[in-house]
Amino acid sequence: MVLETGDFRVSYGRITALKGVDIKVAENEAVAVIGANGAGKSSLMNGLAGIVEAQGGVLYKGADLSRLPSHQRVKRGLVLCPEGRRIFPELNVEENLRLGAYRRGAVKTGLVKVYDMFPRLAERRTQAAGYLSGGEQQMLAIGRALMAEPELLMLDEPSLGLAPVLVDQVFETLRNLRAAGIPILLVEQNAVKALAFADRAYILENGRVVMSGKGAELLADERVKQAYLGI
């Protein structure tokens, strides 16, 4: 098992965002987490990444990461591509990418791989990131995460705010990464796309897992269709 949580909880003062969440991600597996706004999806990702304080167990490749700071988790290969992209708009494309390799790996090799995957970024490597389109900025955010050589890639809302054709491109990229053997944990509001992509999925509601199963099975479940898919 690559990742396993036990009674995972996140609170902000008196507000409890996650109320004991247990999830697993296996080798070569894509796992999706879906749910309504405020269900606790981003709190889960930020807690796993060590960006916000969390309680409960986090086992990554059998090692307890619960007390490790975020930069040490990245060093071990647990890498988050955050919601909202969080690029540095005043830096150019290549400078943003190089920041992703701060704790991991060979920069030149990483740049070659990212530019092969996203030729548009290679064309714009000296352009300020703030002038990229929304789709290009998402490519940059994913590319920056890949520069850290993830052994588990976590993505928080990678299709947020993108046109449908760009959403398709994002999920094609994720399929390619999965085919390359990178386990993926995906939080995504486009539930149809997420469930169609994932091997397994969890549904969060008010900070708890209320359903889980194979992605295809949840996609066909009438309760899931009515509550989350708008079908």
Tokens of 21: 């969440």
Alpha carbon distance 79, 48 (integer Å): 10
Alpha carbon distance 85, 178 (integer Å): 20
Cβ-based neighbours of 42, under 8 Å, separated by 6 or more: 83, 156, 157, 187
Q: pLDDT digit string (tens) for 100-152?
A: 987 666 788 899 999 999 999 999 999 999 999 999 999 999 999 999 999 99
Q: What is the pLDDT of residue 138?
A: 93
- Whose structure tokens read 């993108």? 162
Where do the structural domains in the chain lie, given as residue ranges?
Answer: 3-77+151-229, 87-149
On whether the CB atoms of residues 50 and 79 are closer than 8 A, the answer is no
Alpha carbon distance 51, 218 (integer Å): 30
CA 231 to chain centre: 25
Q: pLDDT digit string (tens) for 69-106?
A: 999 999 999 999 999 889 999 999 999 999 998 766 67
Q: What is the pLDDT of residue 227?
A: 76
Q: pLDDT digit string (tens) for 204-220?
A: 999 999 999 999 999 99
pTM of full prediction above 0.85: yes
Nearest partner of 18 among 52, 50, 41, judged by Cα: 41
CATH topology for the 3-77+151-229 domain: Rossmann fold (3.40.50)
- Whose structure tokens read 């399929």? 175
Q: Can you spell out the DSSP letters for the chain?
A: --EEEEEEEEEETTEEEEEEE--EE-TT-EEEEE--TTSSHHHHHHHHHTSS--EEEEEETTEE-TTS-HHHHHHTTEEEE-TT----TTSBHHHHHHHHTSSSS-HHHHHHHHHHH-HHHHHTTTSBGGGS-HHHHHHHHHHHHHHT--SEEEEESTTTT--HHHHHHHHHHHHHHHHTT--EEEE-S-HHHHHHH-SEEEEEETTEEEEEEEHHHHHH-HHHIIIII--
What is the rounded average pLDDT of the residues 57-68? 93
Alpha carbon distance 168, 226 (integer Å): 23
Q: What is the pLDDT of residue 145?
A: 95
Confidence of residue 230 (pLDDT cuts 50, 70, 90): low
What is the rounded average pLDDT of the residues 215-229? 86
Q: What is the pLDDT of residue 189?
A: 87
Confidence of residue 224 (pLDDT cuts 50, 70, 90): confident
Alpha carbon distance 32, 41 (integer Å): 10
Whether the pLDDT of residue 14 is over 60: the answer is yes
Confidence of residue 229 (pLDDT cuts 50, 70, 90): confident
Q: pLDDT digit string (tens) for 159-207?
A: 988 889 889 989 999 999 999 999 999 999 899 999 999 999 999 999 9
Whether the pLDDT of residue 231 is over 60: the answer is no
Q: What is the pLDDT of residue 180?
A: 92
On whether the CB atoms of residues 73 and 65 are closer than 8 A, the answer is yes
Nearest partner of 195 among 55, 63, 43, 31, judged by Cα: 31
